[in-house]
Structures are given as structure tokens and as C-alpha cells.
Structure 1
Amino acid sequence: MIYYITGGERSGKSRYAQELAEQLSESPYYLATSRIWDDDFKKRVDRHLADRDERWTTIEEEKYLSKVDISNKTIVMDCVTLWLTNWYADSKNDISYCLESCKKELEITFQNASDETNLIIISNEIGMGIHAQTAVARKFTELQGWINQFIAKNAHKATFMVSGLSIELK
């Protein structure tokens, strides 16, 4: 089963995904996609680690999701936005390359999911915020929107988070 959870920053996405994973499995996995960009981000990562207890196993993979063995596991992938940021930065903001590469990675990842897999994918709806002021940021917002649509189309269930409340989309 592929679950897609989206919403704005601090909307409750991670908490919701974590609670769902704990309902689905006694030993869930957390797939961390972020790079540690600075001290503030390190604190954010540390807070997320502290939110999970000993039942959780953390896997770190910042780009190649298809390398992760997801078969027969319950996995929270947190998050698409940070994962895309890695691809976007490494490609020097080549949106076409990123879109093609990321869709391929996701397609393989979805194919690797067994009937016993619960893949819970967290993403941000960044296009609902302030209009990006730079061309690079506007291109990233477009990339994020296209990838979110791709994931939502392939997901079995989709949830939108607002102010800590969930709205079922699919």
C-alpha cells in the first residue's frame, strides 16, 4: 500500500505518518532523505529522531530510493521536498533532468513494493505559499508540484494535512 501525505510546513504531516506507521507495524522504518545543510537543520533532524522510540529503524538515502529494500516493510519516507532538493542542487537546477530521474526512481521504488509493503510518503505543498521570487525557486516549485502529482496518482491513499488535522483526498 502506498500512502501519500502532503500539506504545508508544520501542518502535522510527520506526526500523522509516524502514528500511521506505528498502527501498521510493530517495527517501522524511517527513510530519511535529507542532507544536513546547517546547524539549524541538524536540530530539526535531532528532534525528529527524538520523536521515535526503539521500535524504529532509520535508513538514510538522500537520492537513490530504488536502492532501499522496502519489501515487506512499513516505511515512512520523510520527505519528498528534501529528496528533490538533493537532486535539484546536484544537477545545478536542471528541472528536466530532475523530473525524469526522480520519476524513474519513484517508479522503481513503487515496483519494489510487495503486497506486504506500506510505503508512507511525506511531501510539502509548497505551491500554496508565497510566490517564489527567484527563477530557481519558481522552477523548484514547479518540480515539486509535478512530482507530488505523480506520487498522488500512484498512491492508494492520499491525505492532506492542515493545522494538525487530516483531510482524506483519496
Structure 2
Amino acid sequence: MIYYITGGERSGKSSYAQKLAEELANNPYYLATSRIWDKDFQKRVDRHVSDRDERWTTLEEEKQLSKIIPENSVVVIDCITLWLTNFYVDTKYDVQKSLCLAKDEIHKLKKINATLIIISNEIGMGIHSEHESGRKFTELQGWTNQEIARIADKAFFMVSGLPIQLK
């Protein structure tokens, strides 16, 4: 089962995903995908960690998510935007190569016998970047979100802390 949760920054995606995971399992997993880019980002990571209690097990993986997800588990993957950033930077901002790598991994996730709660951001609804790399990343994010939504069993859009079921 794949749940897809998307929305803007600070829309309540992580809180909603965490509550859902806790309803589905006594001991859920949290799969962190981000690299720690700076001190401010470390503070954000620390806040997310403090939101979870001792029932949670944290996993960390920057790209090959399917390799570390335990069978028959409930896993919150947070988040696709940071995961995509890893591909985008490592391919030297090649959108097509990043998209190909991301789609390949997404289809591997679909084959795992686990409940996945995948969090992503809708970054294309805001201001257009003045930088070419930012505009290209927005396209990459949009195409990746569409692919995840397509394979998801359920999809939610978060607005002001409220979930709107899309699928």
C-alpha cells in the first residue's frame, strides 16, 4: 500500500503522515532522505526527530530507498523533494537523468511488501525561480510527483493542516 501526501511547505504533511503511520503500526519507521546542507537545516531535522517518540526507528538513505525498507513494515519517507535534490545535484542538474533514476527507484518501491507513506512538496504553485536550475528542478519535482501519485493507492493534498483526499 502506498499513501502519497503532498502540499506546500509547513502545510502539515509530516504531522499527518506521522499520525497515519502510528495508526497503522506500533513501531513505524521514518526514512530520512536529506543531506544536512547547513546549520539551519540541521535545526529542521532536529525538530522532526523530536516530534517522534521511542516507538519510531529512523532509517537514513539519500537515494536507494528500496534497499533499506524492511518487509511488512510501515515507513514514512520524508521527503521526495530532498531525495530528488540528491539526484539533481549528483547528476550536475540533469533533469532527464534525474527523472529516469527517480522513476526507476519509485517503481522498485511499488514492489516492496510494505506500507509506504511518501511525503512530497508541491513547489510549482509558488513563485517561479529566477534561476534556470530552480525552474528545471520545479519541472523535475512536478513530473516525479505525478509518477508517485499515479502508482499510489491513496493520495492526499495538505492545506493549512487539513488533508484533502485526491485518490
Per-residue CA deviation, residues 45-99 of structure 1 (Å, 9 max, x unaligned), is: 0000000000000000011112113420000000000000011011110011000
**Could you tell me the TM-score, scaled by structure 1's length?**
0.97
Q: State yes or no: 1:17 paired with 2:17.
A: yes
Match in the other structure for 2:97 = 97
CA distance in 2, matches of 1:67, 1:129: 33
Q: 1:154 to 1:70 in 2, by over 3 A?
A: farther
Runs of 4+ with >6 A deviation: none
CA distance in 1, matches of 2:78, 2:36: 14
Q: Say which SS state the counterpart of residue 10 (structure 1) adopts.
A: coil
Structure 2 gap segments, 5+ residues each: none
The number of equivalent residue pairs is 167
Q: Is the 8 A contact 2:154 2:166 kept in 1?
A: yes
Code of the residue aligned with 2:156 in structure 1: it is T
Match in the other structure for 2:126 = 129
Per-residue CA deviation, residues 93-123 of structure 1 (Å, 9 max, x unaligned), is: 00110000110011112112x2xx2100000
Q: Say which SS state the counterpart of residue 138 (structure 2) adopts.
A: helix
Structure 1 gap segments, 5+ residues each: none
Q: Say which SS state the counterpart of residue 104 (structure 1) adopts.
A: helix
Q: State yes or no: 1:163 paired with 2:157.
A: no
Code of the residue aligned with 1:36 in structure 2: it is I
Code of the residue aligned with 1:144 in structure 2: it is Q
CA distance in 2, matches of 1:163, 1:119: 23
1:133 deviates by 1.0
Match in the other structure for 1:143 = 140
Code of the residue aligned with 2:127 in structure 1: it is I
Matches within 5 A, 1:51-130: 51-112=51-112, 114=113, 117-130=114-127
CA distance in 1, matches of 2:78, 2:118: 7
Identity %: 66
CA distance in 2, matches of 1:24, 1:34: 24
**Could you tell me the TM-score, scaled by structure 2's length?**
0.98
Aligned-pair Cα RMSD in Å: 0.6
CA distance in 2, matches of 1:64, 1:24: 24
CA distance in 1, matches of 2:127, 2:142: 14
